[in-house]
Structure 1
């Protein structure tokens, strides 16, 4: 699919942001002792991982 340059750049920015979120959640989850907070962080890890896979798919299909 043909995407405009600004669209590709937006997806790249979102990918960078979600990568930071994923890294932070994974790191902090190891330090958390509260089970509820740990479950919320694991949920965020799962969602962020799925979103990054979707962003990768979009970027791989974008014509440069």
Structure 2
């Protein structure tokens, strides 16, 4: 599938934002003492990691075309 330049840039922007969120969650999780909140943050870390892999795949496919 061919992507327009603005689409590639939007995915890149989402990846940058999600990377920032992931970094913050990983950092803050180490400082949190509440187990329930740590669990929520771990879920966010897992989901964010998966999303970043998907964004990387999209960007990789866009560069190959």
Output the TM-score relative to the length of structure 1.
Answer: 0.96
Structure 2 gap segments, 5+ residues each: none
Give structure 1 regions of 4+ aligned residues with deviation exceeding 2 angstroms: none
The aligned counterpart of 1:3 is 3
Quote the offset at 1:44 in angstroms: 0.2
How many residue pairs were aligned?
64
Aligned Cα root-mean-square deviation (Å) = 1.0
| Residue in structure 1 matched with residue 54 of structure 2 by the alignment | 54
User: What TM-score does the superposition give when structure 2 sets the normalisation length?
Assistant: 0.95
Which residue matches 2:41?
Answer: 41
